[in-house]
């Protein structure tokens, strides 16, 4: 199910979003937030979080930074340094036990 929603989100980002002015009150944008939710969370959790985010994206809320939270168990934490290059796509910033904010790496913004 997640793949279907990711396909629609990518379609929206490429063909529909450029037609309209940029009005999202949050960073990352609502479509990028939804993409990350569906890519890294279970379907039902991603759907609920995306709907709540879209409902918050209006003039009644202040806006600001609102990164998705993913649940991931990390057993071995190791740092790999290769020629001082950042070859990773996302930062995982601890939120609670086994929960992390997922933040896009600005140096590698192209999705492969």
Residue 13 has pLDDT above 90, yes or no: yes
Higher pLDDT, 100 or 35: 35
Strands of the sheet with 69-71, listed across from one edge: 69-71, 99-104, 90-96
Indicate the pLDDT class of residue 74, thresholds 50, 70 and 90. low
Q: Give the pLDDT score at 75.
A: 61
Run of H or E including 51 = helix 43-56
Closest CA to 88 of 71, 103, 70, 67: 103
Run of H or E including 96 = strand 90-96
What span, in angstroms and rounded, lies between the C-alpha atoms of 40 and 70?
6
Closest CA to 87 of 66, 59, 108, 57: 108
- CA-derived radius of gyration, the chain: 15
Q: Give the pLDDT score at 85.
A: 57
Residue 103 has pLDDT above 80, yes or no: yes
Q: Global pTM?
A: 0.77
- Considering only 40-44, 59-63, 76-80, which range has the smallest mean pLDDT? 76-80
Q: 21: which DSSP letter?
A: -
**Residue 16 DSSP SS3:** helix
């Amino acid at each position: 199910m997640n793949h279907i929603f990711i396909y629609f989100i990518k379609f929206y980002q490429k063909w529909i979003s450029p037609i309209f002015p940029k009005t999202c009150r949050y960073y990352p944008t609502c479509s990028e937030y939804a993409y990350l939710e569906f890519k890294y969370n279970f379907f039902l959790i991603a759907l609920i979080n995306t709907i709540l985010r879209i409902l918050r994206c209006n003039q009644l809320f202040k806006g600001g930074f609102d990164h998705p939270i993913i649940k991931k168990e990390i057993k071995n934490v190791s740092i790999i340094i290769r020629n001082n290059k950042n070859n990773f796509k996302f930062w995982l910033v601890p939120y609670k036990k086994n929960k992390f904010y997922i933040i896009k790496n600005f140096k590698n913004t192209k999705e492969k």
